[in-house]
């Protein structure tokens, strides 16, 4: 029977020696065994060698969250209303008057310019939606406003739109304006969400 000797030169060792000396494996931020000679800083411990807290990691990306910033989402009870009250229904006659007054007040005296009319159409749609909201229709109505502005050169223009909706609750209104070399058509669609 062979005897096992503790003297390091007697018998060849079957275990592979570590790349790093044994004393370096038990010191430093990582106590685990490293497989490379050059020490890499880990993401978990950073360059300082200390483990970073949760707030430090999120603040590295530019945002930090604390308990004071946490807000629970508000939940409301279901009303089980499938249609608006009669006083809150979208009325296309009132909406048409508002659209016509907005178009006249903003476009009176304006001349067509391709550079200005793109932004003007966007602004007009926002103004029309805000004024329609002030009429007191139900807040469950989602409003979509389309404004088309073009140069009037006695040409024909067709503005067409399609939508699937409930004819009992949903409605729309449209108005147009023409003066000099400028014309505008504004459509607003009100769809009721339960």
Q: Which regions in the chain score pLDDT beneath 70?
A: 1-69
Whole-number pLDDT of residue 58: 45
Whole-number pLDDT of residue 163: 82
DSSP state for residue 194 in the 8-state scheme: -
Q: What angle, 0 to 180 degrees and rounded to 10, lies between the N-to-C axes of helices 114-133 and 92-107?
A: 140
119 in Cβ contact with 149 (< 8 Å): no
Q: Which fold is adopted by the domain 86-192? A: Ribosomal protein S3 C-terminal domain (3.30.1140)
Whole-number pLDDT of residue 56: 46
Whole-number pLDDT of residue 59: 46
* Structural domain boundaries in the chain: 17-66, 86-192
Whole-number pLDDT of residue 74: 80
pLDDT tens by residue, 127-180: 999 999 999 898 889 999 999 999 988 888 887 878 888 888 999 999 999 988
Neighbours of 1 (CB within 10 A): 2
Residue 93 φ then ψ, to 5°? -65, -45
């Amino acid at each position: 029977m062979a005897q096992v000797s503790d003297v390091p030169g007697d018998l060849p060792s079957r275990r592979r020696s570590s790349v790093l000396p044994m004393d370096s494996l038990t010191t430093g931020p990582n106590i685990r065994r490293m497989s490379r000679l050059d020490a890499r800083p880990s993401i978990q411990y950073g360059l300082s060698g200390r483990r970073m807290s949760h707030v430090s990691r999120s603040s590295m990306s530019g945002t930090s969250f604390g308990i004071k910033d946490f807000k629970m989402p508000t939940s409301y009870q279901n009303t089980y209303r499938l249609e608006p009250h009669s006083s809150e229904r979208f009325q296309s006659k009132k909406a048409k008057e508002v659209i016509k007054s907005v178009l006249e007040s903003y476009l009176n005296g304006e001349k067509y310019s391709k550079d200005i009319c793109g932004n003007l159409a966007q602004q007009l749609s926002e103004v029309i939606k805000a004024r329609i909201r002030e009429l007191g229709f139900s807040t469950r109505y989602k409003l979509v406003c389309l404004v088309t502005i073009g140069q009037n050169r006695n040409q024909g223009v067709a503005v067409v739109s399609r939508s699937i909706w409930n004819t009992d609750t949903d409605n729309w209104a449209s108005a147009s304006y023409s003066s000099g070399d400028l014309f505008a058509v504004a459509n607003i669609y009100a769809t009721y969400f339960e």
